[in-house]
Amino acid sequence: MPDAVRVFVAREPVDFRKAHDGLSHVVRDVFGDDPLSGHLFVFTNRRRDRIKLLFWDRNGLWLFYKRLERGTFPRFALDGTKARAEVDRAWLAMILDGFVPQTARVHSHHVGRVRIEERTTHERAHDPS
């Protein structure tokens, strides 16, 4: 997925009889967003055992659907009060893979910030490589 694609999650469950057009209306009328923007919109049903992703590419709407055979997706602890919340792609990947993002921890091998310093001319002259 390109970096420009943003991910928005519906705070409230939706009627899963809705398909492309019905979910597009939710995006437009409830969220106030354009369903043809190229962003990804995420919806769950009331039981939280199903999830739908609505996505527009250059020439049509994609509707991805996942049904869990056992269990449920975790309740989404989302900040704010709008009808939808923006999340990052890692959050979505965790949800789809069965992880609870609120309890996930960053591994110790993860580097939060990398600082690259330019080497001086003196250092480059004495580098054997």
**Among 46, 28, 26, CA closest to 36:** 28
Q: Which of 35-39, 92-96, 99-103 has the lowest mean pLDDT?
A: 99-103
Beta strands in the chain, from DSSP E residues, in sequence order: 7-10, 40-44, 50-57, 60-67, 84-87
Question: What digits encode the pLDDT tens for the residues 8-56?
Answer: 999 999 999 999 999 999 999 999 999 999 999 999 999 999 999 999 9
Say what percent of the chain tops pLDDT 70. 79
The answer to whether 88 and 7 are in contact (CB under 8 A) is yes
Predicted confidence at residue 73, as pLDDT, reads 86
How much is the pTM?
Answer: 0.76
